[in-house]
Amino acid sequence: MNDKTLRFLKKRFQDYYQDAHIHLPPEYTSREWGFILFDDMPKTVMRRHMAFGSSGELQDYFSWTVPAHAYYSVAYYEYPNASNMKDKNWLQSDLIFDLDADHLPHVPDSYPEMLENVKQEALKLYDFLSDDFGFGEDDINIVFSGGRGYHFHISHPSVRSLGSAERREIVDYISGRGLDISQIIGKSYVSGDSGRRDASMFVFPSENDGGWGAKINRYIISYISNIVNSNKPIKKLTDFSGVGKTTAEKLVNIFNDEKQLSLLKKGKIDMVSNTSKNLFEHLGKQAVDNLIANVDEPVTADVKRLIRVPGSLHGGSGLRVTTLSASELEDFKPLENAVVFKDNPITVNVTQPSIIEMKGNKYHVDEGVQDLPEYAAIYLMCRGGAEYGSN
């Protein structure tokens, strides 16, 4: 990135920060703040160990120094601007989750597809936090990172004192790590009385069990219900190993009978033949694979992590770090809703051919000098794929 491009980006970021609303975290005066400035680039210099005593002071810093990247600590400190971490005197920390598209399995090449994949992970994480951990919508602050994912901030007093080990256990639960599916669904052996042989019974969770048991129950019933209500359900059910036509017909009858379906939701699986129990075991394992949320464990476990400031701009994309409510998450479109720059044409010299999809438009950008809408030009310059101007 040359000096002319840096000057242009700094000016446009500065224009944004003149009127931007920076979302201050709770007790922001007890946080450490850190910034990477355009003035220091192309070197990456983190100016950290900073603290601010008022919102006006913080706003002035954004407006005049113009960060390319802005962060604050998840931790609360007694002395947040101490230059030595030990001297800051850690008090407590928010609970943070980071979902990054690059950390997901089967990462697509398309940026919009990556963002859609990670949004689905964010929806699963919200389900865990609300259903399993009991946090209310007001307790969970969801933030689009401006880059490849989402951050979840929880500042509730019940989590602030948790150490790294406890936070890792939360990640283990959400990611299904160490989950023994055989304890939730499958054969369970029961010791007989004196003189009697041990017996086995098939265990199936109830939707009222809570936790992973309830999730697995709902997943399996929803999965089979969708097959039963589709075209050719018998054929689709018999595609599973061990499910014959007779068993498939029985499953269709059960799932079309509200009383029997109600019993199954309560974990009563006696009406299902032994053969179809293999199907339930298979779907139980499939449920875990599909329901886990892939979060970045080191971020959650680090009680002194710096996290992006909501309302700031991401210097690697030009997109806004955007705060969302849970009700807004499903319909949120990062490449529309997090775009802050205008449509006016900007001349750039493209160095890396790209496909840019933003604000409902798709641009196939070849190397060389050309005009692009400002929002697309800034995105490409921030990504290092173009320089400002014609030379």
Long-range pairs of 161-165 with CB within 8 A, sequence gap ≥ 24 = 161/92, 162/93, 162/95, 162/303, 163/303, 164/301, 164/302, 164/303
60 as an active site residue: the answer is: no
Query: What backbone phi and psi angles, to 5 degrees, belong to 39?
Result: -65, -25
Measured CA to CA, the distance from residue 50 to residue 53 in angstroms comes to 10
Burial class (CB in 10 A: 0-12, 13-18, 19+), 295: buried
Instruction: Considering the candidates 139, 239, 296, 331, report the single residue annotated as catalytic.
Output: 296
- Catalytic annotation present for 296: yes
Catalytic residue among 98, 138, 366, 371: 98
Separation in Å, CA 385 to CA 74, 321, 338, 353, 370: 32, 21, 20, 8, 13
**Residue labelled with tokens 């920390």:** 93
C-alpha to C-alpha distance for 148 and 138, rounded to whole angstroms: 24
- Strand, helix or coil for residue 99: strand
Is 58:24 a contact under the CB 8 Å cutoff? yes
Helix or strand run (H / E) with residue 144:
strand 140-144
* 186 bridge partner residues: 203
Q: Is 102 a catalytic residue?
A: no
CA 389/CA 391 separation, integer angstroms: 6
In whole angstroms, give the CA distance from residue 385 to residue 355.
Answer: 11
Q: How far is it, in rounded angstroms, from Cα 59 to Cα 62?
A: 5
Rounded distance, CA 43 to CA 7, Å? 15
Non-local CB neighbours of 116 within 8 Å, separated by 6+ positions: none
In single-letter form, the type of residue at position 269 comes to: I
Classify 369 as helix, strand or coil: strand
Residue of 100, 138, 239, 270 with catalytic role: 100
Q: Report, as residue numbers or ranges, the catalytic residues.
A: 98, 100, 296
